[in-house]
Amino acid sequence: MTKTLKIGTRGSPLALAQAIETRARLMKAHGMLEEQFEIVVITTTGDRVQNRALREIGGKGLFTKEIEDQLIEGGIDVAVHSMKDMPVAQPDGLMLDCYLPREDPRDAFISFEGGTLADLPDGAVVGTSSLRRKAQLLHKRPDLKVVEFRGNVQTRVKKLQAKIAHATFLAMAGLNRLDAMAIPRTPISPDDMLPAVAQGAIGIERRIGDSETEALLAPLRHEETHMRLAAERSFLAALDGSCETPIGGLAEIDGGTLTLRGEILRTDGTEALVGSRSGPIADGGMMGEDLAAELLARADDGFFDWR
């Protein structure tokens, strides 16, 4: 490749770490030099507006629109995304078919006071910007008070250290990628708290028809992650999932079998509906749609209404 490959990303430390990982994998796969790449930081609406909940300003697309606009216009060649932030549909002209190996998908309980979620005293304050985590938390511990916690990993840790809350949640994947060993964490089993759909996965988006970039990305494609996300994202798409709908989902592969677990909750945590499907890996997308249909059939009218 003769030109500089421009990699678009958000500017948070975690987003930059993901872009750097992508660059390192491309360098190794093709024997390329670091100077053949440019990491282009793009500020999104979700980054700029930190004092309001995501559901109030438009949802997941707020972390991707400006980056995708640059990709469409040719200002960057690829975009590196945290897949849990990605809407299920791409803009015309763009596609996602390259995923790096998935990191730990679990949530982590974070508290400088020690203990676990079960150890929090009655009425303790927990900070989170995730409607899913809030609903799951209140479903298990309706006695707790949940407050809005926007910002990147470092910002949320500072809020915790300032005692704005007793505890918060972060993704294990982000903590691992940042090598944030100083942050105390307790991993939460998916049996206790299903993660966000596609949590822990990095996706690399490109322009349709850009054959040179497609060939560059081909060695980076991780098939198991691709198949797991196909199931999870079909589940999310069938639910019309957004930041206003508390949804958890996780697909796991054992041999030739894929098992998908899914959960939908009322926004106030008063009810949770869970289900699962298992079958051949190639049927993951169909299983996601089928599981979503089952949960929607079990939910009454207004299940997702804001409460």
SS (H, E, C) 68-93: HHHHHHCCCCEEEEEHHHCCCCCCCC
Query: In Å, how far from its chain's centre is CA 293?
Result: 22
Q: What is the helix (H) or strand (E) element at residue 126, kind and residue range?
A: strand 125-127
* CA atoms of 114 and 119, how far apart (whole Å): 9
Among the listed residues 47, 77, 85, 210, the single catalytic one is 85
Q: First and final CA of the chain: distance in angstroms?
A: 53
Confirm whether 85 is a catalytic residue. Answer: yes
Instruction: Return the number of other C-beta atoms located less than 10 Å from residue 204's C-beta.
Output: 24
Nearest to 281 by CA among 227, 239, 229: 227
Distance CA 63, CA 152 (A): 12
Which residue from 15, 14, 12, 33 is spatially nearest to 24, judged by alpha carbons?
33
Enzyme catalytic residues: 85
